[in-house]
Copies of this chain bind each other. A is one copy, B any other.
Amino acid sequence: MIRVNGVARSVVPATDRGLAYGDGVFRTLPVMHGRPQHWRRHYAKLASDCLRLGMICPDRDLLRAEVESVAGRQSECAVKIMITRGKGERGYRAPTHVEPTRVVISSALPRYPREYASGVALFPCRLILSAQPALAGVKHLNRLENVLARAEWDDPRYAEGLLQDDSGHAICGTMSNLFVVEGGALYTPDLGRCGVAGVTRERVMEAAARRGMKCMSQALEFDRVLAADEVFVVNSLIGAWRVCAIGTIATRTGDVTARVQEWLDEPEADD
């Protein structure tokens, strides 16, 4: 089911700036038992991403009601929220008065093989992520790099890709954030130049901090990922997947990833 600006319809104006320029942001989150999971975090990220583009984020309760409405009586589903700058005339300059467009879409939760949680292989993508600090971290609608990277492999043995920047630093998957374990500490790539700073990445970092486990965001050379004690990728729909190979190179595994998976299963107070 789809709602556009609160109305049950499945189309957007052809002149929307989301289509014309990718001028907007989005999120995808799971709904369980009719409740959007980690709504507080997803809304905060949506609002902060809107701010980065100079847009006003629609009201929190309004959006939540629309998410619950498209989820309807499905016991569980995935909901995607897109917020665009709204309708526009021709030209890059945004109109002075413009209402953001809200698009809320429910779909079945993706069915990944159950084995993925215990180990997936990552395809090392050739595409190099470009560096744009003005947009880095934001989940905006300019996602051609992800589309091109995802088109690089067809082999079902690879559940996800691995992307790097032009300095040879590992950044993220095509749809996930990356973590490595080294000496009992967690490290995740710094996203100041490219990549999307996801909600599950934030949850892992906070959960580690609460438990006194060191967790740092830093530049992470590709070779360091290959040599790490453990590697895992996370997003809001998959939780955490243990990585057992990058390309044809097996990566090491340990028991920290399973602990992270347990952390992610714990309910959060205000959701």
Residues of A in contact with B (beta carbons under 8 Å apart): 2, 4, 9-23, 26, 28, 53-54, 78, 80, 82, 84-85, 89-94, 103, 105, 107, 110, 127-128, 130-132, 134-135, 140-151, 166, 174-175
The reply to whether A175 and B91 contact each other, CB–CB distance below 8 Å, is yes
Copies in the complex: 2
24 residue pairs bridging A and B, Cβ less than 8 Å apart:
A10-B13, A11-B11, A11-B12, A11-B14, A12-B12, A14-B105, A18-B19, A19-B103, A20-B26, A21-B141, A21-B142, A21-B146, A22-B22, A22-B142, A23-B147, A53-B148, A92-B150, A94-B151, A130-B131, A131-B131, A134-B148, A135-B148, A140-B144, A141-B144
The residue that A130 contacts in the complex, of B23, B89, B130, with Cβ under 8 A, is B130
| Closest residue on chain B to residue A127 by CB atoms | B134
> Which residues of B have CB within 8 Å of A143?
20-23, 92, 142
A20 to B141, CA, bound (A): 6
Q: Closest 5 A-B residue pairs measured CB to CB?
A: A22-B22, A11-B11, A142-B142, A130-B130, A92-B150
> Which residues of B have CB within 8 Å of A91?
110, 150, 175
Least Cβ–Cβ distance between A116 and chain B, in angstroms: 15
The residue that A175 contacts in the complex, of B16, B92, B94, with Cβ under 8 A, is B92
> Which residues of B have CB within 8 Å of A20?
26, 82, 141, 143
